[in-house]
Amino acid sequence: FFMTDLPKTPEQWRALLASKGAEPLAYEVTRQAATERAFTGRYEDHWAKGQYHCICCDALLFDDSTKFDSGCGWPSFYKSAVAGAIEERVDRAHGMVRTETVCAQCGAHLGHVFPDGPAPTGLRYCMNSAALQFDPQDKG
């Protein structure tokens, strides 16, 4: 996708997500910064080899080799797969100050990043499964 190819209206985003078999909450999560409930997302306890892409624009975001079990209830990674794939923004919602993560290509809300992850980065990218699409390493 190029930025000019991306949907513009809520209806277009909903249609695109539906065509990809996205989770029911995908629109609310990616376009309205909602959060799925802990331990409910399809990738929270998913350990197959492969890569995680943005459900909205297919940008590569994470690789299975950086996924870890943080116990927080959402898929967690200690590093993005590609430098610059994820943009960070200050999030002051819900009476907290957190670092929101969004897809640098299409602006989809992904989740948040926290400074309590494992080495080598010390980061925990806490992502919503509804914002991700998994591409298995072995498609056979």
Strands (E), 78-131: 86-91, 98-103, 109-114, 124-127
**The residue to which tokens 């993560």 are assigned:** 101
Closest to 68 in 3D by CA, of 118, 127, 109, 114? 118
Catalytic center residues: 126
Closest to 71 in 3D by CA, of 46, 38, 48, 100? 38
In whole angstroms, give the CA distance from residue 38 to residue 11.
27
Closest to 13 in 3D by CA, of 2, 33, 28, 34? 28
In whole angstroms, give the CA distance from residue 50 to residue 37.
24
